[in-house]
Amino acid sequence: MIIQVETARAFENLEEIISVPGVDVAWIGHYDLTVSMGIPAQFDHPQLIDAMNELVRTCRKYGVAPGFLPPNQESAAHWIAEGYRMISLGSDISVFLDGIRRFKTHVTQEGQAR
């Protein structure tokens, strides 16, 4: 079971939430969390960084995998090193758009090769 932790109130009750039997992944909803914390979209804010680290510590304690959607490869590598075990490499829209861009580039290059 994957749960989403995305409010300041959830972090006030993090241990109680993550310790529920059957929770496999605790996914941090960082966009909504920053809004709930009063720091909208400030993803490098110390308050958010502290929350992300707290999620890792609490998840380790209960054998739950922390999850996150990083904005880029560098961020993914950083948070994997910090202990995040479930990483999304993009949203459905970003993956779709990337596929279209690659297709367009390939078709354009193929057309120029002829």
pLDDT of residue 94: 72
Look at residue 109 and tell me whether its pLDDT is greater than 80: no
> Using one digit for the tens of pLDDT, what is the confidence trace for 48-103?
999 999 999 999 999 999 999 998 888 999 999 999 999 997 777 777 888 898 89
Beta bridge pairs of residue 68: 87
pLDDT of residue 113: 53
The domain limits of the chain are: 2-89
Q: What superfamily would CATH give domain 2-89? A: Phosphoenolpyruvate-binding domains (3.20.20.60)
**What are 19's two structure tokens?**
């310790």
| pTM for the full predicted model | 0.80
